[in-house]
Structure 1
Amino acid sequence: MAQHFLLSAAARTLSLKSIFSEGEEAAYYRFCRLRWPETDGEPVCPTCGCIDIYDVTTRRRFKCAACHRQFSVTSGTVFASRKLSFVDLLGAICLFVNASKGLSAVQLSRDLDVQHKTAFVLMHKLREAMMAETRDIGLDGEVEVDGAAFGGHVRPANLREDRVDRRRLANRSGKRRVVVVLRQRGGRILTRTFLREAQGVEFARERIARGAMVAADEVTHWDLLETDFDMQRINHSEGYSVAGVHTNLAESFFSRLRRMIGGQHLKVEGRYLDAYAAHAAWLEDHREESNGRLADRLIGGALASPVSRSWKGYWQRRAA
């Protein structure tokens, strides 16, 4: 039997040992190469695009000869105003991508010896970069659509006579959210969070090309998609796959997301669920890439993303 890719040496191209042994300079030049890949790490002014740049070596900054503005490798990106050194930042990203079922902020804070808030904000900035990767992507071909509920657990009362039917809307906590997933077979995964699964109908119409084949379960609100797509339906009370019709890949994604939340994060607030779902989708999409390639992909995406409007100023109590 052939060895699984994740068990092979090809999947391990970056390690904490190599990151910290190579040191700060190597980490810094890695960020430069990923910020400006067209010039092999040579700086380009983010304001005017000029390549005639002066090196302010004492501050690790650059000055544009045309517009005279100073900038750094992280200026205007989600890493702007960073406090961590580049070697620590690269180490954090290595740990983040190595965790195939997600990584808790508590664990990252202990590994890097930083405050929990530092780890929490950094990880959410990285998730923003993950979400940006699929922001403008549409799906076609064969697409599976499904929804799953997360959160809103209501603890049953101690005494039997005090217990209520937790399935009824009146007895829910109001914190329950539904993640709707669109997964193209052989392609990408798109996710979005709603209060109700039926709201995912418009999401599917928005992101799936007309005429594509869409597989869904027996829930009635997916009937509304039949006018726009070639629908295949599977009744899960009869089987998980009948005559080749299934939503197994969508269910596979939810399996990863549930293990991520239940095993690592324990609970996730509804306002952050979109980010965690996008994180799980990103890991699933790139599961066959080495950890070094994952780190470079994530750093490149983060350096191409603008300053976070949700997480900028978190330390000044302007929390997301």
Structure 2
Amino acid sequence: MAQHFMKSAAMRDLTVMDIAMMSEEQCHSYFCKVRWKSESAQVCPHCGSINRHYFRRQRWQWRCKDCNGYFSVTSGTPFHGHKMKFKQMLLGLMIFVNSANSISVDRLSRDMDVQVKTAHVFAGKLREALMTTQDLEPLSGVVQIDGAHFCGMPRFGRRRKRTDRVIDIAGRVKEKFGKEKSNENERPPRSRTNRINWEKRKNRRIVMVLRQVSPIQGQGAERTITAICKSENQVDALSLANRFIAPGTLIMTDENPAYSLLGDQVDPLTKKRKWHHQTVVHSIEFSSDDGVNDNQCESYYSRMRRWVKGVSHRATPKYLADRAVEMAWRDDTRRVTLGKKLEQLLAAIFHQGPSLWWRGYWQKHHRAEEILFQA
């Protein structure tokens, strides 16, 4: 049996141990190499001059030879004005990359030896960079679409509903291990009728996911686009398809009525059917005999649910879009080595600019509201 890529030595081209053995100078050089593709030449963010500028070792800064402006490798990025050491930041980046289902802020603060507030903002900046640099070019080939419910879930009550029925223990054992099963000995359901409990449904959100399937059999999905909606409806589904799916694409969905109009759309340029739509009826089967399924969407939701249940233990609407994009990035890079994922994440940070949502977060400079898809 072939070894899984995640267990291979090729996956471990750069590890936490490698970074732990690096010096502060080596970590600083790594940042420079990723940002400027060079360890000797730098780009001045003030005037754009590319040169070997004057380096101020004690301040980890350069002075531009042309405009005399001072800058560092993190100038004009989310890490602008940082107080952490470069080795500390690089370790935090690698720990974030190395977590399959994300990492809790408490765990990250312990691993980086920083305050929980610092770790919270640090991780938030990484997700913001992934959001602002994600590839939103239209998907093509075979695309699967689905929606799943997150946030706003009422919890089960502490007590079960009253019943006058006597539970037959022997009957339950026979029912469970016997050949024939009946519903006579079912336990009564727990109540959810508390009004405060049901008020939680106001925060109910649907994570819509569109996944482009790789043409190579067995490789799964290769690119993912996500959106947050308040319901799984025809208006949002059609608008998502028009914006993120190229004409001529084969779309696979389940039997939800929200996707019933996808196969009826006409391309105004060619006057032909815009997309080919195939449906799998989940009440009957997970995959049709012809191979119609949305298993790649379910794979993505599996990772999302593992994050909710095993890492964060909760999900809130305000930052659900950030988490959805993070999980999409983790799923799309599941066959990428650790070193390349680290470079990809660091490149996204350097391409973003100063943080809009997390700079001054603890001084109450928060994002105003959640990011919902606008049809």
Bigger Rg over Cα: 2
The Cα of 1:101 is off from its aligned counterpart by 1.5
- Evaluate the alpha carbon distance shift between residue 265 and residue 171 of structure 1 in structure 2; reply closer, same or farther with a 3 A threshold: closer
CA contact (8 A) 1:125 1:308 kept: yes
Gaps of 5+ in 2: 163-189, 215-221, 266-273, 368-375
CA contact (8 A) 1:147 1:197 kept: yes
Deviates more, 1:200-209 or 1:153-162: 153-162
Match of 2:99 in 1: 99
Match of 1:58 in 2: 58
CA contact (8 A) 1:34 1:41 kept: no
Give distance in 1, aligned partners of 2:97 and 2:331. 11
Gaps of 5+ in 1: none
- Evaluate the alpha carbon distance shift between residue 237 and residue 267 of structure 1 in structure 2; reply closer, same or farther with a 3 A threshold: same
Give distance in 1, aligned partners of 2:203 and 2:249. 34
Match of 1:193 in 2: 228
The Cα of 1:286 is off from its aligned counterpart by 0.8
1:310 equivalenced with 2:309 (yes/no): no
Identity of aligned residues (%): 36
CA contact (8 A) 2:209 2:226 kept: yes
Amino acid in the other structure paired with 2:310: G
Give distance in 2, aligned partners of 1:283 and 1:18. 22
CA contact (8 A) 1:164 1:171 kept: no
Give distance in 2, aligned partners of 1:62 and 1:197. 52
The Cα of 1:171 is off from its aligned counterpart by 5.8
Amino acid in the other structure paired with 1:102: S
1:229 equivalenced with 2:266 (yes/no): no
The Cα of 1:40 is off from its aligned counterpart by 4.7
Give distance in 1, aligned partners of 2:116 and 2:60. 27
Q: Deviations over 1:180-232 (max 9, x none)?
A: 00000013011111111222431222111122111111111112222131111
Give distance in 2, aligned partners of 1:184 and 1:41. 40
What's the secondary structure of 1:19's corresponding residue?
A: helix
Give distance in 1, aligned partners of 2:313 and 2:126. 20
Give distance in 2, aligned partners of 1:238 and 1:303. 48
Match of 2:186 in 1: none
- The TM-score, its normalising length taken from structure 1, stands at 0.93
Q: Deviations over 1:271-304 (max 9, x none)?
A: 1111111111111111111111111111111111
What's the secondary structure of 1:191's corresponding residue?
A: strand
Give distance in 2, aligned partners of 1:4 and 1:133. 29
Deviates more, 1:133-142 or 1:8-17: 133-142
Amino acid in the other structure paired with 2:223: R
Amino acid in the other structure paired with 2:201: S
Match of 1:280 in 2: 327
What's the secondary structure of 2:261's corresponding residue?
A: helix
Match of 1:132 in 2: 132
Q: Deviations over 1:229-269 (max 9, x none)?
A: 11111110110110211101111111111111211111121
Match of 1:178 in 2: 206
Give distance in 1, aligned partners of 2:119 and 2:329. 19
The Cα of 1:42 is off from its aligned counterpart by 2.0
The Cα of 1:68 is off from its aligned counterpart by 2.7
Runs of 4+ displaced beyond 4 Å:
none
Match of 1:71 in 2: 71
- Evaluate the alpha carbon distance shift between residue 164 and residue 265 of structure 1 in structure 2; reply closer, same or farther with a 3 A threshold: closer
Give distance in 2, aligned partners of 1:152 and 1:90. 36
1:48 equivalenced with 2:47 (yes/no): yes
Match of 1:291 in 2: 338
- Evaluate the alpha carbon distance shift between residue 164 and residue 257 of structure 1 in structure 2; reply closer, same or farther with a 3 A threshold: closer
Give distance in 1, aligned partners of 2:192 and 2:116. 37
Give distance in 2, aligned partners of 1:266 and 1:192. 21
CA contact (8 A) 2:141 2:249 kept: yes
- Evaluate the alpha carbon distance shift between residue 41 and residue 175 of structure 1 in structure 2; reply closer, same or farther with a 3 A threshold: farther
Query: How large is the RMSD of aligned CA atoms in angstroms?
Result: 2.0
Q: Deviations over 1:66-90 (max 9, x none)?
A: 3332211011111112121100001
CA contact (8 A) 2:109 2:118 kept: yes
- Evaluate the alpha carbon distance shift between residue 319 and residue 172 of structure 1 in structure 2; reply closer, same or farther with a 3 A threshold: closer
- The TM-score, its normalising length taken from structure 2, stands at 0.80
- Evaluate the alpha carbon distance shift between residue 24 and residue 200 of structure 1 in structure 2; reply closer, same or farther with a 3 A threshold: farther
1:218 equivalenced with 2:246 (yes/no): no
Q: Deviations over 1:33-61 (max 9, x none)?
A: 00101x45521112322113222223111
The Cα of 1:93 is off from its aligned counterpart by 0.8
